[in-house]
Amino acid sequence: MPASAQSVTLEPWEISIIDHYVPELSMERLVRGFLKDQFTPHLESSQQRLASIGQEIDDIENHAQRTHAATRLNTLNAWQTRVRKLLPVVLTVLSGVQALSKEEPPADII
């Protein structure tokens, strides 16, 4: 079930083959769900892809090309690190001020 939908309990005579959901109307929850659904899988898979690219860079024989590729890879790794640090901050800001007063970040933050 998507993060932006809530299940509804129906009486036995109201049940049909179709699932019934109440739409999520909170902009905060919609944006948080969108960010988590769109960015989290990419962040998780990008670490593996960057490691794979790093192994391929090691196999480049031309020193100038290897140095250039390693520099570009370091830039991508830095961007990924920044996004990993920024995303929880953005999600916390979207949670409101009450999340900032907690000692631990919410469990659903990456």
Q: Classify the C-alpha dihedral 52-58-64-65 as positive or negative.
A: negative
pLDDT digits (tens, 9 = 90+) for 28-65: 778 778 888 888 888 888 989 999 999 999 999 999 99
Cα(first)–Cα(last) distance of the chain, in Å?
19
Computed over its alpha carbons, how large is the radius of gyration of the chain?
Answer: 21
Note whether residue 66 is domain-resident. yes
> For residues 28 and 97, is the Cβ–Cβ distance under 8 A?
no
Which residue reads 């969108």 in tokens?
34
Residue 68's Cα: distance from chain center in Å? 29
DSSP 8-state assignment for residue 3: T
Above 90 in pLDDT, residue 4? no
Q: Indicate whether 66 pLDDT > 90.
A: yes
Contacts 24+ apart (CB under 8 A), 2-5: 2/33, 2/37, 3/29, 3/32, 3/33, 3/36, 3/37, 4/29, 4/30, 4/33, 4/34
**What total of structural domains would you count in the chain?**
1
Q: Average pLDDT of 5-17? A: 63
pLDDT digit string, tens, across residues 71-90: 999 999 999 999 889 888 88
Residue 109 lies in a domain: no
Question: What's the whole-model pTM score?
Answer: 0.56
Query: Where in the sequence is the domain holding 80, given as residue range(s)?
Result: 26-100
Please give the pLDDT value at position 87.
Answer: 84
Establish if 89 belongs to a structural domain.
yes
Q: Please report whether residue 9 resides in a domain.
A: no
Does residue 72 sit within a domain?
yes
